[in-house]
Amino acid sequence: MPALTYQHLFQPGSDPAAPTLLLLHGTGGNERDLLPLAAAIAPGSAVLSPRGDVSEGGALRFFARLAEGVFDVTEVTRRTHALADFLAAASAKYGFEPQRLIAVGFSNGANITATMLQLRPEVLGGGILLRAMVVLDQTAAAGSLSGRRVLLVNGARDPLVPPDHPPRLAALLRAGGADVTTAMMPHGHGLTHADLAAAKQWITPCRSPGSDTPAFSSSPPGTGC
């Protein structure tokens, strides 16, 4: 079995039918940053939250950058595969199914969610990407994201994400067959209650009508929520 190479926390869920959430923090964060968000949008879900293993002046990230918004493709690709391999090992250890693993990433965490969807789609069932940008300017392989839902939430006043990046990223993921929903908030790079509301609304269709329990048991294999 591959090693669990990232420092992380895993919290079992109280609802065995609920999706497992993968929490991926932004630059300078840690594995606890997004726990309150997870509890708010999907109570009862199990949570897997790794800590970024790249230091940028002491601020932890999931891959290095050359400058603001400038990336080394080789570095990004290597780190993406490393995290995907960790997820495969974590799935075996903790017993969750990859197609029921929903990534919730903020900033750098959202960016590596996008690159995993592009390069290693088999390890995720879908994702909520908060303030993501285009890091790898390549389409997902045709059909590789069929049945997977993705939410992109960006800020209209975000100084870090160029305004053309959200639609470009949506197109790159849709090329692989993903069902991509986009939302533009009248805010900057930081998260707000509006982001939480959008994430909660997006994840609600996973739940059975009239119930608080996600309806994954009736979903076809490989279908992400």
Residues with a catalytic annotation lie at 107, 158, 189
Rounded-to-integer distance, Cα 17 and Cα 11, Å: 15
Identify the three-state secondary structure at position 96.
coil
CA distances from 28 to 106, 108, 116, 131 (A): 11, 10, 21, 15
> Buried b vs exposed e over 33-47: b needs ≥16 C-beta within 10 Å?
bbeebbeebbeebbb
Rounded-to-integer distance, Cα 173 and Cα 210, Å: 31
Q: φ and ψ at 72, to 5 degrees?
A: -95, 115
10 Å Cβ neighbour count for 148?
25
Running DSSP on this structure, what letter comes out for residue 52? P
Judge whether 24 and 113 are in contact, CB under 8 Å: yes
CA distances from 115 to 43, 80, 100, 132, 173 (A): 27, 6, 18, 10, 10
SS percent in the chain: helix, strand, coil, step 5: 35, 20, 45
Closest CA to 22 of 139, 127, 111, 120: 127
